[in-house]
Homo-oligomer: A and B are copies of this chain.
Amino acid sequence: MSTDIHPLDQAVALTPTGAVGHYQGQTTQDYWNMVGPYGGITAAALVQAIQQHPLCLGDPLSITVNYAAALGAGRFDIEARPVRTNRSTQHWLLTITQPDQDGDAQVVTTATAVTAVRRITWGGTDLSMPEVPSPAAVPRVPPLGGVEWLNRYDMRFLDGIIPQTWDGRETDSLTRLWVRDEPPRALDFCALAGLADVFFPRVWLRRAQRTPAGTVSITVYFHAGREELAAAGTGHLLAQARGQEFRNGFFDQSAQLWSEAGVMLASSHQIVYFKE
């Protein structure tokens, strides 16, 4: 174990830039995807901005991130604004901007979020964690593509690994894997937001055909509080995703993430562009 700063902490490090709620970040090569940062790390940075805000009430309950344009390498600016604060919930509007060629700030990402002070109530689940072998019993696979961010996750596939042959054979779009940050890092809301986007495009699996694809909008619901995250620690999460409908250039994906102990920590949904 190195004592260096973890790549995730480096990627979400934000510097206040004066006015309350304004932060500056810096993209890192560690989480680089094809034409911009991995979408999950952008969501993580927005969660960080909320949690770092001096007026933040409670912990993240939900966040929706809309990828309006590819984030370019280098500096980006986050504005996080609590537009309504109630007794136990707080509503946020966020934008990420980068300067265009003329130096004018252009919106590249929008988001809304809700934070909440949670109370202990009755609880129940309607979607139990599937019974699967433990992480130790499943081999870790080498990163599945040529992009850097895949090296930041330890992935152990149980079902629906990326197709070995692109033969166009249709199948269902269900993937299940054990996953955690690499190197291991204690789970927090930033890391969980990042993990919620860890699945390769469902359309690749559904059709065994590669096509350009990218998330347009992702929503993460946090079912866990700090205690459940602390209990998950540096363990793997069971991550499950499937598409529901693929039509005319877009498909949706629904996902769940459970701790090794079988507690659903987050559920997540996204709508994704695909070319053909």
**A residues whose Cβ falls under 8 Å from a Cβ of B:** 61-62, 64, 66, 68-69, 83-84, 86, 89, 91, 93, 95, 106-108, 110-112, 114, 116, 118-127, 170, 172-174, 206-207, 216-217, 219, 221, 223-225, 242-250, 252, 254, 256, 264, 267, 269, 271, 273-276
Complex Cα gap A249–B121 (Å): 6
Which residues of B sit under 8 angstroms from A116, Cβ to Cβ?
A: 216, 249-250
Q: How many copies does the complex hold?
A: 2
Given B68, B86, B174, which contacts A68 in the complex, CB threshold below 8 Å? B86
Contact A247 B123 (CB under 8 A): yes
Which residues of B sit under 8 angstroms from A245, Cβ to Cβ?
A: 123, 125-127, 223, 264, 267
Complex Cα gap A225–B173 (Å): 23
Complex Cα gap A83–B66 (Å): 11
Complex Cα gap A217–B61 (Å): 10
Given B66, B124, B217, which contacts A246 in the complex, CB threshold below 8 Å? B124
Given B120, B207, B216, B247, which contacts A223 in the complex, CB threshold below 8 Å? B247
The residue on B at minimum CB distance from A83 is B107
Known A-B contacts A244-B256, A271-B61; A69 and B93 likewise in contact (beta carbons under 8 Å): no
Contact A125 B244 (CB under 8 A): yes
Given B110, B216, B244, B273, which contacts A93 in the complex, CB threshold below 8 Å? B110
Complex Cα gap A121–B245 (Å): 13
Sorted nearest first, the 7 A-B pairs with minimum C-beta distance are A68-B84, A68-B91, A123-B247, A64-B64, A83-B107, A118-B248, A127-B244
Which residues of B sit under 8 angstroms from A216, Cβ to Cβ?
A: 61-62, 89, 114, 116
Given B110, B174, B244, which contacts A264 in the complex, CB threshold below 8 Å? B244
Complex Cα gap A252–B119 (Å): 16
Contact A64 B219 (CB under 8 A): yes
Q: Is the interface of A mostly helix, strand, loop or mixed?
A: strand
Complex Cα gap A67–B269 (Å): 19
Which residues of B sit under 8 angstroms from A225, Cβ to Cβ?
A: 248
Chain B CB within 10 Å — which of A83, A95, A118, A273 has the most? Answer: A83
Contact A112 B114 (CB under 8 A): no
Complex Cα gap A110–B61 (Å): 15
Q: How far is the CB of A122 from chain B (nearest CB, A)?
A: 6
Cβ contacts A to B, 15 pairs, < 8 Å: A62-B271, A64-B112, A66-B114, A68-B86, A83-B110, A89-B273, A110-B112, A121-B249, A122-B246, A124-B207, A125-B244, A126-B173, A127-B245, A244-B267, A254-B267
